[in-house]
Amino acid sequence: MITKNRHLNGFTLVEVISSIVVMALSVLALMRLFSILAESVAYRQHSVMASNLAQRKMEEVKAIKKNDFNATVIDLAGSSYSGFPQYTLYVWEAPNYLTFAYLKRIDVTVSWGHSSGGTSSETISTVIADY
């Protein structure tokens, strides 16, 4: 009588199903990782753009004459930066905690909304002298 060796005929159904489950879980984990990476890249792109816009506006603020400064700050409060409507720009003279009255602290904040509904912002500050 000839006996058959069952293990040489191929995979069992349990082995095939378990390997499919393992591969499906791996693919789901990779999809979640790619989603997180895409969100991170988008945040970093917005962060770099906001920092550049804030730096550009800070240079403009530094060039403003003392007499025109307060009017310019009021005009810019909560405005969208031209060409970049998704960013909101705030420029203000911060309260003077400095010991020298002729120094002004200026903050420039650029904020933007997330696709998830939240907001983020980048702020740069400087101190300028009355001139």
Are 107 and 91 contacting, i.e. CB atoms less than 8 angstroms apart? Answer: yes
3-class DSSP assignment, residue 121 = strand
Domain coordinates in residue numbering, the chain = 12-129
The whole-number pLDDT of residue 30 equals 95
At CA 41, angle to CA 37 and CA 47, rounded to 5? 145
Q: Kindly state the average pLDDT of the residues 9-37.
A: 92
DSSP 99: S
Band (pLDDT 50/70/90 cuts) for residue 6 is low
pTM beyond 0.85 = no
Are 126 and 55 contacting, i.e. CB atoms less than 8 angstroms apart? Answer: no
The whole-number pLDDT of residue 130 equals 65
Phi-psi region of 87 (alpha: psi -120 to 50; beta: other; left: phi over 0): beta
